[in-house]
Structure 1
């Protein structure tokens, strides 16, 4: 049977992604693992790969379309199949069972065969819920409704089979805010005389700006830059992180002279240039192995502790911050770690990361030392519980055994989720990390 390629859910709670470009055309023969399309997700531009061998029978959607997660974007035909197999495959894909929504659409909030951009809200079919009826709603819609004290059963859904999606909840929230405003406006209109025409004409403009950010003075020149999907996601995720995660900060200063000597020795033998950041990543992995309680994340009703060390490395790109994951750092030698990290960083800047390369991770590192930044506090990347902010390595006056001297010192600040890593554990982690940086022979143990 023909294979339907679905829009992947790269990020938790994602409802859609932008189809950036097609890398194949209809009629092309493709192999397993071959890139079919580029998509823009909340975190990065990633490539969608073919999971089977076949012929491209149909491409669904055009470059620039915003398509729901779980919706079909292509159909691959097997040998001997013709165009009739395409409709059959799509028919199966969009036909749910009598009492359950189609499994591939469990994460989607739009009809399976329609790009989100092609379904205007005003044209969408909504469905009211009957008493005792099972309510289908996306996890994100349920969470937003709960945060605003709304009963999900009272919100009509426009998704498949009346499924409640984020747009339905947001519309209900907006309607709830509009009713008091309308009542207030009606009361004011009855109590006050009619306004002058000039004032009346200005009212709509003020209404448009109620929920907007402060705008520049009219006399100044400025440009409004439209938000990309990634920039919107960065704003949403980091705002949620600061609002919902109790951040706890611990800072230490580490002397790096021994580490820099160690790095020089490594680079004399390594086929790949090893950076200070590579050594920091390795030191973090060694520390997390020594203190496994810090290699964990908040999981609602439990704390999830990881057995491997997967570290996200923050990379600045023109589109925004991307965090590819270096997996199994504890098992990598320094040359392999440097090569892996370099490859991930280059492809992150080129927008060529794969979906699996930006998922997961238990810890993050953000390095601004190359910009001369001495120290800073980073925001935790949920659902992780910690991120290390790395400042510049610089020569500073130090005192050793009562004698003044000069040493290369780096300031390191750990931002941790206090629900998982409390103050004592954070201090223990930073003490162990500092010990490894100042005595790098510990990295080999």
Structure 2
């Protein structure tokens, strides 16, 4: 069950172990298998997709069945409850409103001597959204990945997701996709789906950016195709870190830890508390809530391997440990969360106060729930419209401005041994050439 630690050295060692839980030799072996899948799909297209779908998902499909038909999309609306449909629409509205605030603006600046500088933002043309299947259906993942792409102005959004039994897809996933504006959905998953998006097949188009979480094979595939396409991140198992003081409710904190642990056997659930008594109360209630948990075995495994409670002397110490771990989700269940926020440097998403469980961010608040994991919050950020937008620099110099800068440009070019760089500036200083005959070589020939 949940381990309670009271020493700083042991706490830092355990946090490091949990952060590095996906670093193992098995990953290298799996990478070799993924390379084979990528190469096969690149060379054989749909044929390889169908082969791997049968091998890994135990579903036999024809190429014509890869894409979900319009009638199947329509039928999905009849299979979800009104409450779920309403929730999807509320979530969509909030996510869209939040991400519209993040659209970068192109700009142009006019300087001295008619120097014009600027930056122009344009969306990618095609985006691929991967939505995992397996243990559960994830309509929220559809919304969180597709809506920023749509808000960014991506013209073609393609979604792939593994087929379930009888090659079916969960109706909630299909409804969420349509509410987010996706009509092009393919029933294919795993590394083969990433390969199809990266290289294109007879049926599935090549895209410019691939986003969305998945298992180790999906993550390795995204890593290997990066460079041919852009990706959002290399997402690892999910994690939450809760900082709690005496004002927090141990029942609520226990529920929040379990909410993360129930995702995956490798999910991490960490508590940093300022009281040993509070940590013990959380541990006791966690066991109570697990008793009738519908995903008990999976959740217990996550808690046993990657659950942790650390007792510290102060909230400042708690913030320091949190910054070393750089959690995907950070809950500040303390009396003055905004004051503690000043000490937080690294976290994917921060939930402030005792009435803000991480589930709010997972589903409905608006900010994206696709977040950096495994310590990458030290340098990475949540998925957003920026993921689907690239920028171009704009530069215009007048002849006067070029001549003023000529000496500096030529000095740098000559220092680097780049003759024609220097000449491209020097020749412009001589005025426009009137004919080919003025070239010294041409005159010599005459």
Shared fold by TM > 0.5? no
Question: How does the TM-score come out when normalised to structure 2?
Answer: 0.21
The TM-score normalised by the length of structure 1 is 0.21
